[in-house]
Structure 1
């Protein structure tokens, strides 16, 4: 995404390692800061982007997962 710092992730739901081994997580939150604009695919720079995934389950492979609910917010970077 071209951010100066890598996005952060927060995983909720105890016990996390057991849930991860079983292929399901209750809540995962992702946050990225200062995402620069990038042509027509990302025309507006963003100060903060937050994504919340609820009811995350893998489909038999660690490469893919499906969420029961996804919510996202973004705050534009105003200069």
Structure 2
């Protein structure tokens, strides 16, 4: 049996998203069915779902925050 991780058309980002609740911009955009540019634009305007910045450069979205945003429960 092959235990190698499965990759779909979205590549490695999608495989990581399955194992961690923390998503990078590309995975968060795929999760929300929008473009990464939309998330970057929302961040620049102080809108969109809540996100964290790690070491002043790494942006991560928690899946719970994305779900809350979709349900109208939160954002910036």
TM-score in terms of structure 1 length: 0.22
The structure carrying a bigger helix percent of its residues is 2
Which is higher, the Rg of structure 1 or of structure 2?
A: 1
**What is the TM-score of this pair, normalised by structure 2?**
0.22
